[in-house]
Amino acid sequence: MTENNENLNELLSRFLDERQTHEAAEDFRAGEKLLASFPVPACDQDVINSIKAQIKVRLEARKRQKLIRSMFHRVAACAVIIVLAIAGVKFFPEPKRERVTVSKAGSDFIWDDEIGTGSDEQFAALTAKIDEIQASMLAIRLDENGDEGGTILTNLEVEISEINGDFWKG
Amino acid sequence: MEARQDLKEIIANCQAGSNEAFSRLVDLYASRCYSYFYRLTGNATQSSDLLSTLFLKLVEKIGTFRLATGSFEKWLFTIASNIFRDHLRRKYRQQKLLQGKAEELELKAAATRTKADEEMIDELQVQMAKLDAETAELLMLRFYGGLTFRQIAEIRSEPVGTVLSKVHRGLKRLRELMGHHRD
């Protein structure tokens, strides 16, 4: 009728001899001819229409189900992300930043070791001398020493730089 | 060849969920499937119900059909065959359950049988009923299903030689019955 176009004789010959193959093939043809001579009454068109309508309903229901399922999956995925985010904030808080502080002991070491307690008097004398020079410079700036102010100022600056150099050399 | 290509396209669209494609599939196969059920049940109403069950099952299962390699007819009539067997089992259970009320049912069945059913029962149908259910189904798979003997053998999980022999015997018996009836 549609697909059964296989070679019947060849198939039969695998099981029967030549004469039997021929007879069996004839029987098949006669039998199928008999069936074809009694056509089945056609299916009622209402039945066909009803089937098509039922299929339409099923397909629409399936589309709805698919949509609901995909929405459910999206909502579930969002929920999981939110839960993970909350859990992350709750169980893994931001690490505290360490403050960088200068060790007091370190600074003590510098002062104690380099200068020592014995040099306090020397330090005080130097500070006094610097103050004196600064006062002189201020006087010159205020023009208290007349025209020679420029030369005096240069001398004073040279003196300050020498004192500073001596101080840092120890 | 072109028809095959068309069928492939229709099936692919069915798999994509197209209502129009399913309508075309119904138009293509309803007649053959109805004939298959009709010759096996001998009843128009039951055949319509089985046909409806078949196509609704098809909507459910079309996604499982392998378009590239499978034969659609074989796949379709495998489902049809399973539906018919389920129907036979149900019928058998009902008969067993209602054995005590056989006479009463016989009367009821006679009363509810429609005029259309009466008219549709032809000579061939009467003689077909005399064949055993298995042989009748093999004949219908071959004739209305249009399946090859190899395909029928695959569906029934039997050797091709056995199927050939059963169909041959069935057709011969049917011819005898028809000849006997005519005499």
Domains, chain B: 2-182 (1.10.1740.10)
A-proximal residues of B, 20-49, CB under 8 Å: 22-23, 26-27, 30-32, 34-35, 38-39, 44, 47-48
Q: What is the mean pLDDT of chain A?
A: 78
Predicted confidence at residue A156, as pLDDT, reads 73
Predicted confidence at residue B97, as pLDDT, reads 77
Q: Is the pLDDT of residue A8 over 70?
A: yes
Residue of chain A whose alpha carbon sits nearest to that of B27: A48
Main-chain phi, psi angles of B2, to 5 degrees: -65, -40
Of A23-37, A152-166, B81-95, which range is least confident? A152-166
Higher pLDDT, A36 or B95: A36
Q: Is the pLDDT of residue A61 over 70?
A: yes
Q: What three-state secondary structure class fits A42? A: coil
> Are A27 and A47 in the same domain?
no
Summarize pLDDT for B148-181 with one digit per residue, the tens: 999 999 999 999 999 999 999 999 999 999 885 4
Tokens matching residue B60: 């459910």
Residue with tokens 């494609």: B21
Query: In angstroms, rounded to a whole number, what is the distance separating the alpha carbons of residues A100 and B49?
Result: 86
Count of structural domains within chain A: 3
Predicted confidence at residue B183, as pLDDT, reads 42
Sorting pLDDT into bands at 50, 70 and 90, what band is B4?
A: confident
Predicted confidence at residue A169, as pLDDT, reads 63
Contact B71 A3 (CB under 8 A): yes
Predicted confidence at residue A16, as pLDDT, reads 87
Residue of chain A whose alpha carbon sits nearest to that of B19: A56
Q: Is the pLDDT of residue A170 over 90?
A: no
A30-39, A46-55, A105-114, A150-159, range with greatest mean pLDDT: A46-55
> Are A104 and A152 in the same domain?
yes
Q: What is the mean pLDDT of chain B?
A: 86
Nearest to B151 by CA among A14, A11, A16, A29: A11
Q: Is the pLDDT of residue A162 over 60?
A: yes
> Are A71 and A125 in the same domain?
no
State the ipTM, two decimals: 0.79
Contact A43 B172 (CB under 8 A): no
The residue type at A88: G
Main-chain phi, psi angles of B67, to 5 degrees: -60, -35
Q: How far is B127 from chain A (nearest CA, A)?
A: 11
Q: Which whole number is the average pLDDT over A115-141?
A: 77
Chain B interface, best mutation among A55, A62, A63, A65, by max B CB count within 10 A: A55
For residue A40, the chain B residues in CB contact (below 8 A) are: 34-35, 38-39
For residue B167, the chain A residues in CB contact (below 8 A) are: 28
Q: How far is B96 from chain A (nearest CA, A)?
A: 30
Q: What is the CA radius of gyration of chain A?
A: 57
Nearest to B58 by CA among B37, B41, B39, B78: B78
Higher pLDDT, A15 or A163: A15
For residue B121, the chain A residues in CB contact (below 8 A) are: none
Contact A15 B161 (CB under 8 A): yes
Contacts of A54 (CB under 8 A, 6+ apart): B52, B55, B56
Predicted confidence at residue B105, as pLDDT, reads 60
> Are A164 and A130 in the same domain?
yes
User: Does residue B154 belong to the interface with chain A, where contact is any CB pair within 8 Å?
Assistant: no
Judge contact between B23 and A55, C-beta under 8 A: yes
> Are A33 and A83 in the same domain?
no
**For residue A16, what are the domain limits?**
2-37
For residue A56, the chain B residues in CB contact (below 8 A) are: 19
Summarize pLDDT for B135-150 with one digit per residue, the tens: 999 999 999 888 999 9
DSSP string over A123-134: HHHHHHHHHHHH
Q: Which whole number is the average pLDDT over B102-125?
A: 61
Contact B143 A59 (CB under 8 A): no
> Are A59 and A120 in the same domain?
no
Contact B149 A14 (CB under 8 A): no
Predicted confidence at residue B19, as pLDDT, reads 94
Q: Which whole number is the average pLDDT over A97-125?
A: 61
Query: In angstroms, rounded to a whole number, what is the distance separating the alpha carbons of residues B85 and B40?
Result: 10
DSSP string over B117-161: HHHH--HHHHHHTTS-HHHHHHHHHHHTS---HHHHHHHHT--HH
Q: Is the pLDDT of residue B79 over 90?
A: yes
Q: Where are the alpha helices (DSSP H) in B43-114?
A: 44-61, 72-97, 102-112
Judge contact between B33 and B51, C-beta under 8 A: yes
Query: In angstroms, rounded to a whole number, what is the distance separating the alpha carbons of residues A98 and B31?
Result: 84
Q: Is the pLDDT of residue A4 over 70?
A: no
Predicted confidence at residue B182, as pLDDT, reads 46
> Closest partner residue to A4 among B44, B48, B147, by Cβ?
B147
Query: In angstroms, rounded to a whole number, what is the distance separating the alpha carbons of residues A27 and A15?
Result: 15
> Are A103 and A162 in the same domain?
yes
